[in-house]
């Protein structure tokens, strides 16, 4: 009987458990909605700057059509944000402060190190500098990404991401 209980306990440890998402204590920069398993305000996940900084940070140095030369962007990987909210959809609807929006396949986040940039050359992105969050693809690492379709997905002044199922 003990071996059965031990095996059952070991099996339960392998089951993924949705971790609670803390509530933001500062100004909300990003709201994630839709097909998510983890939320902190009703059925939405709200993130302030500190919560986004608590996610693993990633850096990319790349040129963009909007900057002169290569610049350094830092922020969490998009796939890490999706993991934090338990996203299960196949498409992201990314919306900017001015209501511009673009659809991005979730596959982009797994195929490329797409970051939700919050800093540019070590300085926090301000709204007038495409902040507070700017979707950045690794253009220099993957030059084929410099096309109109991907550039349209490189939303700046991001404030909302809706995860859409199949």
**Which two structure tokens, joined as six digits, stand for 123?**
């300085």
Q: How confident is the model at residue 16 (pLDDT cuts 50, 70, 90)?
A: very low
pLDDT on residue 11: 40
Q: Quote the mean pLDDT of the chain.
A: 90
pTM of the model: 0.86
Q: Which CATH class is domain 22-164?
A: alpha beta
Instruction: Give CA–CA dist 4/161, Å, rounded.
Output: 44
Q: Which residues pair with 94 in a beta bridge?
A: 102, 161
- Dihedral of the alpha carbons of 38, 39, 45, 46, in degrees to the nearest 10: -130
Res 5 pLDDT > 50: no
Q: Using an 8 Å Cβ cutoff, are 118 and 49 in contact?
A: yes
Dihedral angle sign, alpha carbons of residues 123, 146, 80, 94: positive
Flag the least confident range among 7-11, 99-103, 106-110, 156-160: 7-11
Chain mean position to CA 164:
14
Q: How confident is the model at residue 19 (pLDDT cuts 50, 70, 90)?
A: low
pLDDT on residue 2: 55
Res 122 pLDDT > 80: yes
């Amino acid at each position: 009987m003990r071996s059965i209980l031990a095996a059952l306990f070991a099996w339960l440890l392998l089951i993924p458990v949705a971790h609670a998402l803390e509530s933001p204590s500062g100004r909300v920069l990003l709201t994630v909605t839709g097909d998510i398993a983890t939320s902190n305000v009703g059925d939405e996940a709200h993130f302030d700057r500190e919560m986004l900084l608590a996610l693993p940070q990633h850096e990319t140095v790349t040129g963009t059509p909007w900057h002169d030369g290569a610049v350094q962007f830092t922020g969490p990987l998009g796939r890490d944000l999706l993991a934090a909210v338990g996203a299960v959809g196949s498409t992201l609807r990314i919306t900017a402060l001015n209501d511009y929006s673009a659809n991005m396949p979730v596959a982009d986040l797994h195929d490329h190190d797409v970051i939700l940039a919050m800093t540019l050359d070590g300085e926090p992105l301000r709204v007038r500098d495409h902040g507070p969050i700017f979707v950045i693809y690794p253009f220099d690492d993957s030059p084929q990404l410099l096309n109109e379709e991907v550039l349209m997905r490189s939303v700046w002044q991001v404030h909302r991401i809706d995860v859409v199922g199949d």
